Amino acid sequence: MKNVTLTVLGCGDSAGVPRIGNDWGKCDPLEPRNRRTRPSIMVHSATTRVVVDTGPDFNSQLTREKILTCDAVLYTHAHSDHVAGMDDLRIIQSRIGKRLPIYGDAPTLAELEQRFGYIFRQQSSFYPAVVDPHLLDASHWGKVLPIGDLDVIPFWQDHGQGVSSLGYRFGKVGYSTDMIDLDATALEALKGVEVWVADCADYAHGHGTLHSTLENVQRLNAIIKAPQVYLTHLKIFYDYKAMAAALPDGYTPAYDGLQIPC
């Protein structure tokens, strides 16, 4: 049986922790797990590395984890905190010597091509095309998508206010950032996971119009029944130790660098 690991590259919200100006909010700056870069994960076996999202901290995240290349990128959606580091895929393409496969739904791929056209189309012999886009649509939801020796299961998520995102399952681990609700297909895709990494940006603030509250995560997990839930997309209002002490059993804040067996 192959060993597969999910590494949390970043678990912060769109502004990160600390925010510009060394603003830590309620987070203790002396607690390393409070330093949160923008949301991203990597899933890897001995032969395959897949990254989910390339936010503005993508360079520093891969440098921190000593990652030189990856084999594919899965995108959840096109908000800047999930895609703004796409330019750094140029370095990966130059190292692997071929276009890097990327996966996303139609709105995400269309916006990425509009914003990063030079990544999709060869500009000159010095600036080759960097990515090979693959469309994910409703025919893929809840179905196995093989990438190298990894089996990925994509599913649709409601991000609120007419916005959607994609979640992904890797073996016994599910990943659901930027969501407020899951449909029956997504819930079925996640049933049986042992670990669920779930958006909880509105943990104790707001009413979950674009991101989940703890109450909402618990509501969904009553159906999924993951025994361990790691909360991600966390803001400066949520100190790691204070949050961990207040959460019920089976719920834990994620942190940058956390490694989870899949």
Where exactly are the structural domains of the chain? 5-261
- Predicted local confidence at residue 91, as pLDDT: 97
Please report where in the chains the tokens 């990544």 appear, as a residue. Answer: 119
205 Ramachandran zone, left/alpha/beta (phi>0; psi -120 to 50) = beta
DSSP state of 99: P
Domain 5-261 belongs to what topology? Metallo-beta-lactamase; Chain A (3.60.15)
- Predicted local confidence at residue 72, as pLDDT: 98
Residues in the chain: 262
- Predicted local confidence at residue 74, as pLDDT: 99
- For the stretch 190-216, what's the b/e string if a residue is b when 16 or more beta carbons lie within 10 angstroms of its beta carbon? beebebbbbbbbbbeeeebebbbbbeb
- Return per-residue pLDDT of the chain as tens, 262 residues: 579 999 999 999 999 999 999 999 999 999 999 999 999 999 999 999 999 999 999 999 999 999 999 999 999 999 999 999 999 999 999 999 999 999 999 999 999 999 999 999 988 777 899 999 999 999 999 999 999 999 999 999 999 888 999 999 999 999 999 999 999 999 999 999 999 999 999 998 766 688 999 999 999 999 999 999 999 999 999 999 999 999 999 999 999 999 999 9
Q: Provide the β-strand partners of residue 12.
A: 234
- Predicted local confidence at residue 206, as pLDDT: 63
Contact of 37 with 61, CB cutoff 8 Å: yes
